[in-house]
Structure 1
């Protein structure tokens, strides 16, 4: 049974300023939900129930998307009130509109390591600041896949709305993300953390003076490796001073991987393979006939479909709605 909610009521302006405030709350609820143990446990339970194999990341995304699509009832907000539920509350209610489904699915995906961003859409090209719908995109192999759980379509489908706006989630470096230095002159051994650091460099945001960059710099200097690459020194200094925006950086990651591998800091098992083209679900693919030479009888192969700190719900009251 759902516990008694702690409802917060806030006034928001009408129009685009109100939309921006609502989107900020959606971002905060996703980031908070991703750190909630209940949300993460729920996501893991779904993967276990559907027998998703470890490291089959596309199947993980598909399983969570389909679970929200099939188990959350689309229900409109209270009349003339914009209601936002936390991911934990959505797991109890099992009902909500597009922003609630976005919060839940985004929280579960980020809780198991899949970065997401928001897409706002509108139907009136004459009003590019007027939006009526929100859904997710998830990063998979350097490409963003659309996830609209409110519609009865496979993942990857998105409406052809004439007005769209991409909203990235703000990324802050939290204390838990930093490397702890034991002692004044301690040199951290980040070699065991290199795979995770490389994964972050591949597509995540870095704020200036990120402690992970400092830890890597200190380790390389301690091992007398830093002076061997002017490019690496310049790159680390630039990231330390300016940070990095959240976007795919496959070439930078590949060059850094090769260098660390040459210095025997990264085993071949941790090397990122060259990203393969994303194979879209069956509903997204257009099959074209190809002329083939007869080689004997061929039986058709059937494609089987593959089948988580709570923030309490925020109620945003829109004047005149």
Structure 2
């Protein structure tokens, strides 16, 4: 279970890194803050605008039983535009962190145990402003994204936390350009879906749709 968790976490991190470098995602982020009327240099205004947009436009749908779907930020945004949005908590974080990362913010995910049973079962976003703010100082700001009524730094009850910060400076090939399901390239150069750990994610074949549905 620990190895499977590490593989899932790695896919999540890399999809965020890919999304924040995508010009399509950046243009959508700019569109969102303009439509929200955010003034220049208003960092909390930008973060709030992106958060509210994701909360109110991405539609929450659970993954199939025992299958872990992952989507690129671009795919999630296109589904929203087409009126076909269906995403779970990790997808919410992927698109949210990608949108804010594309605007220059350091972003990541917080994987949590919300049932107090020792199992990481939920994902929230986290972001840091470039400068200190009166409300949050230099601290990371948490965003619960699947509940539209939740404000910044408000979250479901949690007992364990696993932080995950995206690396915007990465120069690796984006996931949607890799043949994840076909065995030619893996995320780390090892066997398909293994991430070089020797563990093959049982649902890695599902990720093949990332290439075709970008």
- For normalisation by structure 2, the TM-score amounts to 0.72
Question: Is the CA contact (8 Å cut-off) linking 1:82 and 1:317 kept in structure 2?
Answer: no
1:27-176 equivalent positions in 2, closer than 5 A:
27-93=13-79, 94-123=85-114, 125=116, 127=118, 130-140=119-129, 141=132, 142-151=138-147, 152-170=149-167, 172=169, 174=171
C-alpha deviation, 1:165, in angstroms: 1.7
Aligned to 2:6: 20
Question: Is the CA contact (8 Å cut-off) linking 2:143 and 2:154 kept in structure 1?
Answer: yes
1:311 aligns with 2:176: yes
C-alpha deviation, 1:172, in angstroms: 4.0
1:118-267 equivalent positions in 2, closer than 5 A:
118-123=109-114, 125=116, 127=118, 130-140=119-129, 141=132, 142-151=138-147, 152-170=149-167, 172=169, 174=171
Question: Is the CA contact (8 Å cut-off) linking 2:108 and 2:127 kept in structure 1?
Answer: yes
Q: C-alpha offsets along residues 240-274 of structure 1, whole Å, 9 cap, x if unaligned?
A: xxxxxxxxxxxxxxxxxxxxxxxxxxxxxxxxxxx
C-alpha deviation, 1:17, in angstroms: 1.3
Q: Can you give the 5+ residue segments of structure 1 that lack an aligned partner in the other structure? A: 1-14, 176-308
- Distance in 2 separating the partners of 1:74 and 1:124: 19
- Choose 1 or 2 for highest CA Rg: 1
Q: C-alpha offsets along residues 27-72 of structure 1, whole Å, 9 cap, x if unaligned?
A: 1111111111110000000111111101101000000000000001
Question: Is the CA contact (8 Å cut-off) linking 1:80 and 1:317 kept in structure 2?
Answer: no
C-alpha deviation, 1:133, in angstroms: 0.3
Q: C-alpha offsets along residues 89-142 of structure 1, whole Å, 9 cap, x if unaligned?
A: 000223200000000000000000111122111145563xx2000111110222
SS at match of 1:82: coil
- Distance in 1 separating the partners of 2:58 and 2:68: 18
- Distance in 2 separating the partners of 1:126 and 1:27: 24
Higher RCO, Cα 8 Å, sep 6+:
1
- Distance in 2 separating the partners of 1:317 and 1:88: 25
- Distance in 1 separating the partners of 2:160 and 2:23: 36
- For normalisation by structure 1, the TM-score amounts to 0.49
Question: Is the CA contact (8 Å cut-off) linking 1:122 and 1:163 kept in structure 2?
Answer: yes
Aligned to 2:208: none
- Distance in 2 separating the partners of 1:88 and 1:171: 17
Pair 165,310 (structure 1): closer, same or farther in 2 beyond 3 Å: closer
SS at match of 2:145: coil
C-alpha deviation, 1:310, in angstroms: 8.1
Question: Is the CA contact (8 Å cut-off) linking 1:118 and 1:168 kept in structure 2?
Answer: yes
- Distance in 2 separating the partners of 1:153 and 1:124: 19
Q: Can you give the 5+ residue segments of structure 2 that lack an aligned partner in the other structure? A: 80-84, 133-137, 182-200, 205-214
C-alpha deviation, 1:169, in angstroms: 2.4
Question: Is the CA contact (8 Å cut-off) linking 1:124 and 1:163 kept in structure 2?
Answer: no
C-alpha deviation, 1:317, in angstroms: 4.1
C-alpha deviation, 1:19, in angstroms: 1.4
In angstroms, what is the RMSD of aligned CA positions? 2.5
